[in-house]
Amino acid sequence: MQQEKIPTIIIVGAGIGGLSLYHALIKNKDKKVFNVKIYERESSPTDRWQGYHIALSNYGAKSLLNCVPSSIASNLPKAMPNPISDVETHGITITDQIGNVLLAPPTKSFKDVYEIAKISRETQEGVWVFFEDGSQEFCSILVGADGINSPIRKQKLPELQIVNYGITHVSADVSVPKHLMDKVNKIHGNVLIRKTLGTEGDSTLMMTRLIPIKQKQNDEKNEPHYRATLVYSYPSELDNVDVESDKVKVDDNDPASVIEHVKRLIRTLRPDCKLTELLVELWDLAPKTIPNDPINFPFKTYNPVQRRMMRDIDPMSIKSWTEFPILGLGANNAIQDADKLSQALLKYTDNNISFIEEYEKEMLKRTSADVLKSRAATFKTSMPLGPFGPTIWIAKIKNSTKLIGGYNPLDWNGDCWKSTRDSFLFSFADWKNISNTTTKLSYIDDEDYAVYCSNNFGPQMGDFTCKIVNNWEYYGPSYYYTSLEIPEQITIEDYEVFQVIKK
């Protein structure tokens, strides 16, 4: 009896997606046996970004646990330590350029990672894969998991179009001393993902864990340090601005010049305030030279501080997944795709590869939607804005048909009461059936307490306040605004803020 030939699968690209697929295929060998080989696409290990913080959502964590063997899964809590009670909150907060909170969504607490759960030639027999060093390998199936610039994808799909957003970002891993981290926490709280939005199309992102890292201490205080990933994004057109007067020359092979460029942009585009000073201090911690002593470098890998263009693949030409620069979709989608592809490969036979077409159709549908979602979010957060000025906010009360809202004719800048007679609150008894008889409108009685601006919580108008994310309070009508006929304590399901622009 002729022994069945074991098909070979070669994975080119040892990133998150490629490694997840490799482990998933090995894990499923009791169901379907493959000879699996994985190669890094780059010429050397240092060519690939490594060591950055990765945010996993529930579907990313679930797919990861599906892919990796139990021996690796059992060690995940060591690599991704459980949340530290009363020290850190896993979630994201977004502030404006001076530190006012714009968004601090409620996050569900969790215990651990388990809870959130020309490069080839085709023949009739299979695929030959050729590498830069002249070597070659033969396989039954070739998987290109080597990123947006994949040579495999370019050869297989010459119609592929890569879209530049016109946005540049710079990333750096830094070691933050406790006294600086305390300043960050004072503005953002202990949330582990902190984003700030400027009015000129720039934004900052900081991802961290509030777990002290081991490193050689050189300062007199010998204070704890924390690892953080910094990202600064800005319109690429700002790279073309003549800065000779500032004597700044940006060289992407010189980390120090890139860091100075980031600091200059922050000082230029942001107002003179404590948050701006803090951002400059944090970027000043970025390594200005390539570390030559990896033992004393506090991280396992060094990632060059360079300018990089934000790009994605046009959803009209995409045939496989891509990483997304916004919304944290990239890592999660890579792992999920590896999980789904490994399940599809269980149907493989020499005479049947139709399952690949089915997999690609589902992936195209999912990733096309995510590309468009990511692109919209990217453009939205990178669009230059003038002063926010007058705004209307509307909120939906949880488990109710009621909508409440307010009009602020001023702005939300500062940390004080603001005076106006033109502000008002309103409520709709049933958002599905809005009428004059069920609509309540309440103008301010004491104009000195019309609007309160705070760095620590959301909208506050008179006796109506949002102090804790989705738990709001209303103490009318005894003080500033007349009754809206809503409870004193309310839970908000969702709310939006709209800028009012005169035409």
More confident residue, 179 or 91: 179
Q: Both 272 and 411 in a single domain?
A: no
User: Does 317 have pLDDT greater than 50?
Assistant: no
Q: Both 24 and 64 in a single domain?
A: yes
More confident residue, 4 or 490: 490
The segment with the largest mean pLDDT, out of 111-115, 169-173, 236-240, 289-293, is 169-173
Spatial distance between the Cα atoms of 268 and 497, rounded to a whole number of angstroms: 27
The overall pTM is greater than 0.75: no
CA distances (Å), origin 494, targets 362, 365, 381, 396, 476: 31, 28, 19, 6, 22
Which residue range is the domain that position 425 belongs to?
391-499
pLDDT tens-digit readout, 333-366: 778 888 888 888 887 776 666 777 777 777 766 6
CA distances (Å), origin 47, targets 64, 148, 154, 427: 24, 14, 20, 56
Q: Both 369 and 472 in a single domain?
A: no
- Give the pLDDT confidence score for residue 159 in this predicted structure: 62
Q: Both 175 and 294 in a single domain?
A: yes
- Please state at what angle helix 274-283 crosses helix 178-188, rounded to 10 degrees: 140
Q: Both 258 and 337 in a single domain?
A: no
Q: Both 477 and 400 in a single domain?
A: yes
pLDDT band at 453 (very low <50, low <70, confident <90, very high): confident
CA distances (Å), origin 58, targets 61, 63, 336: 5, 9, 11
How many Cβ atoms sit within 10 Å of the Cβ of residue 129? 19
**Of all residues in the chain, what percent carry a pLDDT higher than 70?**
68
How many Cβ atoms sit within 10 Å of the Cβ of residue 351? 5
In the DSSP assignment, the letter for residue 116 is -
CB-side exposure of 251: number of CA atoms within 13 Å?
Answer: 8
- Give the pLDDT confidence score for residue 180 in this predicted structure: 93
pLDDT band at 285 (very low <50, low <70, confident <90, very high): very high
pLDDT band at 157 (very low <50, low <70, confident <90, very high): low
pLDDT tens-digit readout, 216-275: 655 556 788 998 989 898 888 887 655 445 555 788 888 888 999 999 999 998 988 899
- CATH number, position 31: 3.50.50.60
CA distances (Å), origin 458, targets 222, 234, 452: 37, 26, 10
Q: Is 178 a member of any domain?
A: yes
How many independent structural domains does the chain possess? 3
Mean pLDDT over each residue of the chain, to the nearest integer: 75
Q: What residues have CB less than 8 Å from 41, skipping those under 6 apart?
A: 12, 13, 14, 48, 146, 147, 150, 151
pLDDT tens-digit readout, 351-407: 666 777 777 777 766 666 666 666 566 655 555 555 567 888 888 888 888 888 889
In 3D space, the residue among 68, 91, 286 whose CA is nearest the CA of residue 170 turns out to be: 286
List of long-range contacts for 78-84, beta carbons under 8 Å, 24+ apart = 80/56, 80/112, 80/113, 81/209, 81/211, 82/111, 82/112, 83/109, 83/110, 83/111, 84/210, 84/211
Q: Both 132 and 201 in a single domain?
A: no
Sheet holding 464-468, edge to edge: 417-418, 451-452, 460-461, 464-468, 471-474, 489-499, 391-397, 403-408, 424-428, 439-443
Q: Is 386 a member of any domain?
A: no
Contact in structure between 314 and 157 (CB atoms under 8 Å): no
Tokens of 322: 């891509």
Q: Is 92 a member of any domain?
A: no
Q: Is 104 a member of any domain?
A: no
Q: Both 271 and 347 in a single domain?
A: no
